[in-house]
Structure formats: C-alpha cells, structure tokens
Amino acid sequence: MPVPSPIDDLDIASQRQKRWTPRVRTGCYTCRTRRIKCDEAQPTCKRCRIRGLKCDYPLRPQHRPQEKLSLSVPQPPEWAFAEALRYYLTVILQPRTGETPKISPEEHMKNYRPDMHISRQESIPSFVMLVINTHITHISQSNSVRKVPGSWPAINHLWRLFFDYMAKAIQHLNRCIAAKFPPRYNLFRIVDLLSIELDMIDSTFWQAHCRGFLALVEVYGGVDAVIKSAENPSPVLALQHGLINNTASPVDDQISEFDNFKEEEILRIYCDMYFRVFPCPSCLFLAIVRITRLRVLAATLGSAPELLSVAKQISDEVYEFMPDRWTETYKLPSDPKIYTFARVFKATTILYALLSLPQTLAQPFSRTEFTNGRDPRLHYRDVLATAIKKASIVQFGMAGMCWPLAVLGVSFYDGTPDEQAGVISWLKGLEKLPTVASGPVTLQQMLPEFWASGKCGWEDCFYKLSQVAA
C-alpha cells in the first residue's frame, strides 16, 4: 500500500500527497507524462488527436492505461516486484481472447512437464526480469512492433527497467554460486537468463550462459547427479536448445562442451522434455545430434570408411522410424494429429543430413529406391513442405516448427521466389506466437541473404553459431 506523506503542522488544510503515486493516475500514458488531464477517449484521446500525437493507450490487454509501469517518480524497492506479481497473476495466467481457460498446475503436470520460461518465483530479480520481458512482448505484439530496444520510444522505460533487473539477476546468481547454493537453484537461475537471451534478437550471450550451465553441470557431478538433485521440472531441459543450435553453425564454431555428453545422457535429458517446446521424437532428436557430430568429425577426418559406416547406421535408424507408431517414455497428447509432427521431423532429419554432410556421407540418406530417380533433396524438400502445411492446422500449432523451417529454407537455395516467400510467411507467423523466441526473426534475416548470395552450402547460410531452435 502507498505510504502517505506527513501532514505539515503549519498548514493543516494542505492536501495529503501519496509518496509513491504519480500526480496523474488516469488517462493515456502520453497525457500522463505531460501531466495534463486526459478525457480517456478510445482508441485515441482528444488531446493526442488534436496535437497529432501517438496515443499510447491502452498498453495492456484487459487493463486501463493508468496501470502501466511508470518511472516518472521514484519507486520503493518492492514496487517493481509488486507490479510484476500483479501483472503475472492478472494477465499472464489469464486466458487470452478466444482461448479456453487454463488448467490448474496440478492438471498441467499430469500431461506435460511445466514450461521453464516463467515457472518459479524463488528469485525476485529473475522473476521481475522475466515478467517485464513478457510485458514488453505483449505490448510489441499488440502494436505490431518488433521487440528490440528503441523500436518504440513509448516503452523505453520498460527496457531500462528490464536491463536493470537482468543485471541484478546476474549479480544474484554470482553471489549464489559463491555461497555454494544447491545445484538445482543455481542452474534454474541460469535457465532464467538463458531463456531471456534466447528471446533477445541478435543476442550472443545465450552461448555464454549455455557454456556456463554446462560447466556447472560438470562441477556438480554430471547429468545423473543434477537430475537427481532436483524434482521435475529438471533444469537440464534447457540443453535441448543448445544441441539444436549446434546444427545451425559451422563445424569450427560449436558449443563443444556438449561433446562430453554420452548419448544415454542426452536421451535421458530429452525424454524428460516438455512436449510443446520441440515436438520431435526422441530417436530422431538423437539422430540429429549424431549427424551434427558426424559433420564435425568429417571436417577433420574426411570421408573415412568408419564415418561412412556411422552414416549408414544413422540412416537405417531414421528410415526404420514409423511416424504413425511413435511412442515415448513420457506421455504424448491423445490427439492423433500429433503424428504429423513425427512426419515433419523425419523429413527434416533426412534433409538436414543431405544438406549438411559431405556428399559421400550423405549418400546413405538418399535412398534412391524411394525417390523414383528424382534428386533426393527435391523429393524430401517437397515431403517436408507438405508436412509443415499439415502441421500448421494442428491444435498445437507451429510453435515447434522453427528448426524444420530453417532446414526447409536452406533447401530452397534454388527455389522459386514464391516458394522462398512461403517460408518467410511461415516465419512471420511464428514470430507472433507467445511461446516462440528469436529464432524466426533470425531466420528472416539470414535466409534472404543466403538465397541472394547464389551459394548452396549449409555453412554458407549458417556461417556463425545461430539461435534457430525456437
């Protein structure tokens, strides 16, 4: 509650003032910052309409503009947390227009592992940072503005508050590591920062957070010890993003710390996954990791006979996978349309091998007996495009389709302008989804440059370690 200021004994009739309350509490934010009365007309108030100003109103879904975070007056330390908690409870947890009411956390846990983005409130700096990031996302999406600092001056104050709390979250994490807090707690704090950096356009700090995460996992005794140190959800779920982002990078710019992970450990991590984050069958996910490792080995060893034998083994396992018989150790949603995702990722895995491996090692993935003499790349490109079209109408949406679209985009290096425009259209649609990070925006920048270059190699497109996982 706001604390009233003392009443001046010499002027008892003077009006009481609230210490932490701005003088103007009603109207659009544009009028509030100018300290003038607003008639609160929607969608544009009279004063902004007369002066030709952009009426910054409303700024929050289902909320009046006076509830907007404001830095126009000093705020007590607890103010930002109270505002973040109120926004979390009244906006983030509420269903959006047209959505069905969200189920209880208990019911949610029966079907999936909970999402890592905003799931815990153990650290006030991390919680406030995550909520402000979500608030900025909501504002940007509702006003069709790309979520980058400075893109809309009206929310610059939110960006300043966001970066302030990001710095506080990093300081808090460093103090906790130095104080030898439990592994589970410290790893979750890195996950908080990692989820933010994956969401930031053109950020490269996610790589540092990922490497720091892996270093702590090793310090804490490895994957098995970390999983046992925390009840579900496990913090190691964040590693699937790093493994996928390694695919979109040259062989000399990988997060090499993943090399220390055994395949059994990767499967154990991945099989505890949250389904909506990356709906890829676990056996295909492991094949993707193997193909990436094969690319790195081929860069130093060439097309050695041993590597060709490994390529054949991976190819056999991928082709033996039957999408309509997909099963996992975790519970899959009951909707039979989820098998569409299995078809998407089987085609994506094969196409990734054809595009990224040297020709000799890619040969086992051609399977010309199934392609009727066509170029295997063109065949599986068509298969993947058709599968993504079907996935776009599935209840779970396109949220997990960013990496398949990255592979499809590279395969269209000789595609028609309409085909390439179709990929960009899908990516623009992905960009608007609330659960998707910066991957679609990154691909909208990289793919057109690659197509215009006239080149056709995988690393001609992904010439640096890129965030395309989500």
How confident is the model over 216-238, as pLDDT tens digits? 888 988 887 887 776 656 666 66
Note the pLDDT of residue 225.
Answer: 81
**Other CB atoms closer than 10 Å to residue 201's CB: what's the count?**
18
Instruction: Read off the tokens for 33.
Output: 């910052």
Note the pLDDT of residue 316.
Answer: 95
End-to-end CA distance of the chain: 40
Distance CA 378, CA 373 (A): 11
Q: Where are the domains of the chain?
A: 232-469
Distance CA 173, CA 182 (A): 12
* Span 53-112, pLDDT tens digits: 777 654 433 343 334 444 444 556 578 888 888 888 788 777 655 555 554 444 434 443
Cα dihedral 60→65→71→76 (10° resolution): -90
Task: Give bridge partners of residue 18 from the DSSP assignment.
Answer: 4
Instruction: Compute the residue count for the chain.
Output: 470
pTM, whole model, 2 decimals?
0.76
Distance CA 5, CA 16 (A): 7
**SS3 state of residue 18:** strand
Instruction: Read off the tokens for 397.
Output: 């949406």
For residue 348, which of 385, 322, 323 has the smallest C-alpha distance? 385
Q: Which residues of the chain have pLDDT under 50?
A: 1-24, 58-73, 103-120
Q: Which residue has the tokens 């199934």?
A: 370
Note the pLDDT of residue 349.
Answer: 97
